[in-house]
Amino acid sequence: MKRITFLLTLLVIAIAVSAEVKYVFYFIGDGMGSNQVLGAEMYQSALMGQPLGRVQTLMTTFPYSGSASSYSKSNGITDSAAAGTCLATGSKTTNGTLGLDGEGKELTTIAEELKQKGWGIGIMTTVAIDHATPAAFYAHVPNRDEYYKVGMQLTESSFDFFGGAGFHHPQGKNDDEPENLYRLAEKKGYTVAHGYEEAIKSAQSAERLIMVQANDDQGAQHGSNLPYAIDRKEGDLTLAQIVSTAIPFLKDRYDRFFMMVEGGMIDYACHGDDAATAFGEVWDMDEAMQVAYKFYLEHPEETLIVVTADHETGGLALGNSDYTLHLDMIQHQQCSAWVLSDLFTQLFKENKKPSWEQVKQIYREQLGFWDTVEISAKEEQKLKEYYKAACNKKGKDTKTMYKTINSLGEAGIALLNEKAHIGWTTRAHSAHAVPIFSIGPNAELFSGWHDNTEIAPTILKAVQ
Ligand SMILES: [Zn+2]
């Protein structure tokens, strides 16, 4: 008996040692605190008629989970540049800084380290490929807003695959930034593919690939982000399509690969305190994760998936008054706060003083007010005050991190969130703990409470 136990122990040790991670998926939900995940799950359940339940996202079914703190070297509340740098290097830095330690010293990212060891590298996101989180894996600049410089560093990274909306400022803003970044990338051996079909074709022969949405060379605005899942139209590029293009691209060329996949628009929606759009983005990242998970199921002994967030955004609270939640309310929202805002802006552009009925019609169509969402006389009165202010050009639009929201749009989204009993404490980030989920060999290393400095070194430890 002793002998059998001894042999079994040897076998277990042998299996543990032989776990060799060859493929790493590092998912980062920008702004995705635990409540963004739990809210998305409970909302999905409410949609299916079970308000007292949750439909699990793939990440919460993973066998290991934990939490991480996210404060930066300079601030109790981090920005995406400092948080991304920490998730990419294991070192905290000052807010706004990418790939430097806050005192000018260059940090090495895990993507750079693995590239040096011969791994294939893919960096992908739903926002611009030179935005803070993706940039944290290849760029080293004291100010994240130096988009052209960050873009130049992307072209010099020699990473194999980039996917996302495009470059923020492909043309540059100053005289010393003359060359279009797409052309510069082509000179460095990258093929630029627009949209899913073109990327699939280019992937066969390209040495290195930059996959962006269709006609992205148009410039800044277009290169900033993919459409929100809630606003998506047929043919729009998705994160799941990007991941499914990147996997065979890297697998065919390398024995090992590392992919950073960012759900970047969760943060954008939470900066607008817009729960329906944010939950849609969590589920959208989950779809991209399903693609990685399918690969994991084919290579379970060699694939590690780690999911976390750079910080929480919005101070999202599930509950704002009593002991009830009405998450099903937000199902009546048909578009993001951004699109709703544009509809109101357009209405006031076309008509100097549109009627209250015209305004009501937009609320009806886009948020279900009066038809499916009961609006009290007091609530209507409040909305009407925003309307009167807008008619008198006194409407106070709200400048959020990525978009100025029309006051009527904001009032509608805020009312719907309030009625769903969803609370928001801020339009900025918070210091809330962020979740970690993991599956695959050595995934247990990520369980428990961590500081965000520990995640990148743990990935390196897991692959050694
Ligand atoms: Zn962020």
| DSSP percent split of the chain into helix, strand, coil, nearest 5 | 45, 15, 40
Task: Please tell me the distance from the alpha carbon of residue 115 to that of residue 312, in angstroms, as a whole number.
Answer: 30
List C-alpha distances in Å: 42 to 48, 50, 238, 271.
10, 9, 24, 21
390 CA → ligand 1 middle, Å: 32
Distance 75 CA to ligand 1 centre (A): 14
pLDDT at 395: 75
Q: How far is the CA of 148 from the centre of ligand 1 (A)?
A: 20
Phi, psi of 99, rounded to the nearest 5 degrees? 70, 10
Q: CB neighbours of 41 closer than 8 A, spacing ≥ 6?
A: 54, 55, 56, 57, 60
Q: How far is the CA of 83 from the centre of ligand 1 (A)?
A: 7
Q: How many residues does the chain have?
A: 464
Binning pLDDT at 50, 70 and 90, where does residue 13 land? very low
Percent pLDDT > 70 in the chain is 94
What's the rounded Cα separation, in Å, for the pair 451 and 449? 7
Q: Is the entire prediction scored with pTM above 0.85? A: yes
Q: How many angstroms does the Cα of residue 29 sit away from the middle of ligand 1?
A: 8
Position 17 pLDDT exceeds 50:
no
Q: How far is CA 158 from CA 257, 267, 356, in A?
A: 14, 28, 56
CB 92 within 8 A of CB 98: no
| Residue 3, pLDDT above cutoff 90 | no
CA of 3 to the centre of ligand 1 (A): 54
Q: How far is the CA of 397 from the centre of ligand 1 (A)?
A: 23
Ligand 1 centroid, distance to 363 Cα (angstroms): 30
Residue 8: pLDDT above 80? no
144 CA to centre of ligand 1 in angstroms? 12
DSSP string, 319-339: -SSSS---GGGGGG--S-HHH
What is the per-residue pLDDT for 394? 77
* Ligand 1 mean position, distance from CA 448 (Å): 22
- For residue 15, report the distance from its CA to the centre of ligand 1, in Å: 38
Whole-number Å distance, alpha carbon 196 to ligand 1 midpoint, is 26
Q: Tell me the CA–centroid distance for residue 311 and ligand 1, in Å.
A: 6
Q: What is the mean pLDDT of residues 41-46?
A: 97
**Does residue 65 have a pLDDT over 80?**
yes
| CA of residue 41 to ligand 1 center, whole Å | 21
Q: Output the CA 310–ligand 1 centroid distance in Å.
A: 5
Count CB atoms within 10 A of the CB of residue 212: 28
Task: Report how far ligand 1's centroid is from the alpha carbon of 192 (Å).
Answer: 26
Distance from the alpha carbon of residue 150 to the mean position of ligand 1, in angstroms: 17
- Cα–Cα distance measured from residue 332 to residue 69, given in angstroms and rounded to the nearest whole number: 35
Q: How far is the CA of 265 from the centre of ligand 1 (A)?
A: 9
Cβ(436)–Cβ(66) under 8 Å? Answer: yes
69 C-alpha vs ligand 1 centroid, how far in Å? Answer: 14
- Tens of pLDDT, residue by residue over 371-386, are 999 999 999 999 999 9
Q: Is residue 145 very low, low, confident or very high in pLDDT (cuts 50, 70, 90)?
A: very high
Mean pLDDT of the region 92-96: 98
Confidence bin at 172 (pLDDT 50/70/90): confident
Q: How far is the CA of 90 from the centre of ligand 1 (A)?
A: 16
Over the stretch 278-292, which tens digit does the pLDDT of each residue have? 999 999 999 999 999
Whole-number Å distance, alpha carbon 323 to ligand 1 midpoint, is 31
Of 393 and 182, the one with more pLDDT: 182
Q: Is 110 helix (H, G, I), strand (E, B) or coil?
A: helix
Higher pLDDT, 235 or 31: 31
pLDDT at 15: 46
CB atoms within 10 A of CB 183: 12
Distance CA 37, CA 271 (A): 16
DSSP structural state of residue 116: H
Distance 30 CA to ligand 1 centre (A): 4
The CB density around residue 63, as the number of other CB atoms within 10 Å, is: 11
80 CA → ligand 1 middle, Å: 4
For residue 254, how far is its CA from the centre of ligand 1 (angstroms)?
Answer: 30
Which of 14-23, 58-67, 253-262, 448-457 comes out lowest in average pLDDT?
14-23
C-alpha of residue 122 to centroid of ligand 1, in Å: 19
Which structure tokens are listed for 157? 């990274």
Q: How far is the CA of 383 from the centre of ligand 1 (A)?
A: 32
Confidence class for position 14, pLDDT limits 50, 70, 90: very low
Cα of 105 to ligand 1 centre, how many Å?
22
Q: How far apart are CA 298 and CA 129, in angstroms?
A: 29
Give the mean pLDDT of the chain. 93
Task: Give the residue extent of every domain in the chain.
Answer: 21-318+428-463, 328-420
- The CATH code for residues 21-318+428-463 is 3.40.720.10
pLDDT of 12: 47
- What's the pLDDT band for 221 if we cut at 50, 70, 90? low
Percentage of the residues of the chain whose pLDDT score is greater than 90:
86
Q: Tell me, in angstroms, the distance from the centre of ligand 1 to residue 92's CA.
A: 14
pLDDT score recorded for residue 177: 67
pLDDT number for residue 51: 92
116 C-alpha to ligand 1 centroid (Å): 27
Whole-number Å distance, alpha carbon 446 to ligand 1 midpoint, is 21
